[in-house]
Amino acid sequence: MVVERFHETADFLRSKGVAKPATGIILGTGLGKLVDQMDVHLTLDYKDIPHFPVSTVEFHHGKLIYGELEGKKVLGMRGRFHYYEGYTLQEVTFPVRVMKLLGIQRLLISNAGGAMNPAFVNGSLMMLDDHINLFPGSPLIGKNHDALGPRFPDMSEPYSRELRDRLARIASSHAINLNRGVYAGVPGPNLETPAEYRYLRRIGADVVGMSTIPEVIVANHMGLPCVAISVITDECDPDNLKPIVLEEVLKMAAIGEDDLIVLFRELVREL
Ligand code: HPA
């Protein structure tokens, strides 16, 4: 990790007109439609941003989008970098470092996930109250840069209580069913075996997915409040497990996406 790179990328984005975004938003798999509600000032392909990770393995179609949502300046990532694509955890979290240097005061994250909790149905939402990191490491391994955050960052409140309270209130005032629970983050890209889903449930996870935790660790390292929502795309009952098809995952993401958009939009509006 080279701190100068974060600054160089932030300077580049400022030179393109990115000025003091208040909120950063990461939109997960099949969850990019929130961008349609933005007044977009600037769109950049990740591949055109200096120091953004480039994969030799898989072409990435992600875009960084700067503009206004409900009159508030936001910096959005449409698509993220995943560990399973071959990026290191430092590369996966590079954009979060840059967004913080650009001045965001909070980070909103979405992802697609499978539910071990039998009460969570496909297409519904779960707000993360907590998580279990099952990635093989932490993005903070290596030399610590004290200017960015402490060597041993506290993780006693990984997801901001204030932002969660606000989302819960917004959900109830819009009659949106917002489940709450614990997210387990796994490297992927393979899905889980029945025994693995059983194990994840036993260790206290309600939902499992292949993202989010590295970004949340880095956000906490920098003292950046965050909040995250999973859209449930498959029901993971180990005793009745059906093969998971990507098309089905995307279809369920699209079903949950409308509620997700309302929650994030209203949260941005009141902040
Ligand atoms: N497991 C891991 N990641 C996922 C799943 C799952 O069942 N569904 C969507 N992302």
Q: Which of 199, 210, 242 to mutate to test the pocket of ligand 1 (most atoms within 8 A of CB)?
A: 210
Ligand 1: residues with CB < 6 A are 112-114, 186, 191-192, 208-210, 233-234, 236, 249
Q: What is the pTM of this model?
A: 0.95
What is the predicted pLDDT for the residue at 29? 78
Tell me the CA–centroid distance for residue 137 and ligand 1, in Å. Answer: 19
**Distance from residue 188's CA to the centre of ligand 1 (Å):** 8
State how many domains the chain has: 1
Q: Whose CA is nearest to atom 10 of ligand 1?
A: 113
pLDDT at 245: 87
CATH of the domain at 204: 3.40.50.1580
Q: Ligand 1 mean position to 31 CA, how many Å?
A: 15
Instruction: Indicate which residue's Cα is closest to atom 2 of ligand 1.
Output: 209
Q: Atom 7 (ligand 1): residue with closest C-alpha? A: 114
Identify whether the C-beta of residue 210 lies closer than 8 Å to the C-beta of residue 83: yes
Among the ranges given (50-54, 58-62, 128-132, 144-148), the one the predictor scored with the smallest mean pLDDT: 58-62
Cα 208 to averaged position of ligand 1 atoms, centre (Å):
6
Q: Residue 130: pLDDT above 90?
A: yes
**For residue 26, pLDDT beyond 60:** yes
pLDDT band at 260 (very low <50, low <70, confident <90, very high): very high
Instruction: State yes or no: pLDDT of 144 exceeds 80.
Output: yes
- Distance from the alpha carbon of residue 255 to the mean position of ligand 1, in angstroms: 16
Q: What is the pLDDT of residue 60?
A: 54
Tens-digit pLDDT profile for residues 31-81: 888 999 999 999 999 999 999 987 655 555 689 999 999 999 999 999 999
- Best residue among 192, 231, 255 to mutate for probing ligand 1, ranked by most atoms within 8 Å of CB: 192
d(CA 90, ligand 1 centre) in Å: 22
CB 227 within 8 A of CB 183: no
State phi, psi for 48 to the nearest 5 degrees. Answer: -95, 5
Question: Mind giving me the DSSP string for the chain?
Answer: --HHHHHHHHHHHHHTT----SEEEEE-TT--GGGGGSEEEEEEEGGGSTT----SSS----EEEEEEETTEEEEEEES---GGGT--HHHHTHHHHHHHHTT-SEEEEEEEEEE-STT--TT-EEEEEEEEE-SSS-TT-SS--TTT--SS---SSSS-HHHHHHHHHHHHHTT--EEEEEEEE---SS---HHHHHHHHHTT-SEEESSSHHHHHHHHHTT--EEEEEEEEEE--GGGPPPP-HHHHHHHHHHHHHHHHHHHHHHHHH-
Token pair for 197: 């889903």
The model's confidence at residue 259, banded by pLDDT at 50, 70 and 90, is very high
Confidence of residue 28 (pLDDT cuts 50, 70, 90): confident
Judge whether residue 1 has pLDDT over 70: no
With a pLDDT cut of 90, the percent of the chain lying above it is 86
* Residue 161, domain extent: 2-270
Q: Name the burial class of residue 243, with classes exposed (0-12), middle (13-18) and buried (19+) by CB atoms within 10 angstroms of its CB.
A: exposed
